[in-house]
């Protein structure tokens, strides 16, 4: 599928069985879908989302894992791509002329290791362990989503002792971040412990530009722009841009994204320069 070309699309929202992590039935009457991703230090869970659903008040929404999937068709060829998988509940709802109108809030697959889930007294990551594997094991003990280590991992050079009130997720980031590693959540909601990328996941240039709205320069090394969706571009991904007419020239790191699902996926993206790009 050439995601920079023209294609038709529709979206499905499916329930996910936490035991198999596979779809087990679709959610009807979905009106709007928005996914937010953020790799900032103050958003360790990386993802949130909102889905608007209408329906019969006698059939209220049951909280659970939901997967958002795009079904695309291009030149007679079809492809289905998972966009995001999160935990949803119905925190805001209203009734209008006999119909239920729910706004479902989605929480990242990492939420089960955050907040009040503490590492406990005396918890530490000892010197010499494989830091990536230690993090993966800590997460896998708590979350429903599958957890993978991409690559061989790294040896922890020094022991890390965690604060008593640190969440397990905060402890994981304390091990990964200083060692150049990260967490990535794919569209199926599977968690990847991986090294931060050094190659561009997306190239923006005159030949293959998918820019919908030119960048806005905030003057602090960050830019925000809108573009068409391409798979595999998430927080911490690198974007190589050669669009001086849009104020973008050099290598950038993705900071945050808002994905609006409608006619395809429109991405509003904020990036920061990682070299003398601005």
Model pLDDT for residues 208-258, shown as the tens digit of each residue? 557 776 666 666 778 888 888 989 999 999 999 887 776 678 899 999 999
Model pLDDT for residues 72-116, shown as the tens digit of each residue? 999 999 999 999 999 998 666 555 555 667 788 999 999 999 988
Predicted confidence band of residue 71 (pLDDT cuts 50, 70, 90)? very high
Whether this prediction's pTM lies above 0.85 is answered by: yes
The whole-angstrom separation of Cα 115 and Cα 107 is 12
Report which secondary-structure segment, H or E, holds 40.
none
**242 pairs with which residues across the strands?**
249
Three-point CA angle 139, 87, 166, nearest 5°: 40
> Is 125 found in the same domain as 102?
no
Predicted confidence band of residue 29 (pLDDT cuts 50, 70, 90)? confident
> Is 125 found in the same domain as 97?
no
Please say if the pLDDT value at position 137 is more than 70: yes
Question: Residue 205's domain spans which residues?
Answer: 200-273
pLDDT of res. 207 = 61
* Among candidate residues 143, 165, 195, the one where a domain is terminated: 195
Provide the token pair at 229. Answer: 């969706």
The whole-angstrom separation of Cα 145 and Cα 193 is 13
> Is 191 found in the same domain as 204?
no
Q: What is the percent of the chain with per-residue pLDDT over 70, rounded to a whole number?
A: 87
> Is 121 found in the same domain as 90?
no
Predicted confidence band of residue 59 (pLDDT cuts 50, 70, 90)? low
pLDDT of res. 278 = 43
Q: Identify the weakest region by mean pLDDT among 37-41, 103-107, 118-122.
A: 118-122
Provide the CATH number for the domain around residue 144: 3.55.50.10
* φ, ψ (nearest 5 deg) of residue 72: -115, 145
Provide the token pair at 24. Answer: 């087990």
> Is 133 found in the same domain as 102?
no
Number of domains in the chain: 3
> Is 12 found in the same domain as 99?
yes
């Amino acid at each position: 599928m050439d995601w920079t070309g023209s294609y038709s699309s529709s979206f499905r929202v499916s329930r996910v069985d936490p035991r198999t992590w596979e779809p087990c039935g679709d959610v009807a009457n979905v009106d709007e879908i928005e996914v937010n991703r953020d790799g900032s230090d103050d958003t360790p869970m990386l993802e949130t989302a909102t889905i608007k659903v209408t329906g019969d008040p006698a059939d209220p929404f049951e909280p659970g894992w939901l997967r958002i999937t795009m079904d695309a068709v291009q030149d007679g060829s079809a492809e289905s791509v998972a966009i995001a998988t999160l935990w949803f509940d119905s925190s805001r709802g209203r009734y209008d002329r006999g119909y239920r109108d729910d706004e479902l809030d989605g929480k990242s697959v990492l939420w089960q290791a955050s907040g009040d889930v503490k590492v406990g007294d005396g918890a530490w990551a000892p010197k010499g362990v494989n830091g990536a594997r230690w993090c993966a094991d800590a997460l896998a003990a708590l979350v429903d989503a599958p957890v993978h280590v991409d690559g061989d991992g790294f040896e922890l050079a020094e022991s890390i002792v965690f604060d008593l009130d640190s969440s397990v997720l905060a402890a994981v980031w304390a091990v990964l971040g200083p060692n150049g590693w990260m967490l990535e959540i794919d569209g199926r909601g599977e968690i990847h412990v991986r090294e931060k990328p050094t190659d561009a996941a997306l190239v923006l240039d005159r030949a293959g530009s998918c820019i919908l709205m030119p960048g806005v320069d905030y003057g602090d090394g960050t830019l925000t722009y809108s573009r068409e969706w391409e798979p595999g571009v998430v927080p911490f991904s690198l974007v190589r841009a050669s669009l001086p007419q849009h104020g973008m020239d050099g290598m950038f790191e993705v900071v945050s994204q808002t994905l609006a699902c409608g006619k395809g996926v429109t991405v509003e993206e904020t990036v920061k320069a990682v070299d003398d790009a601005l």
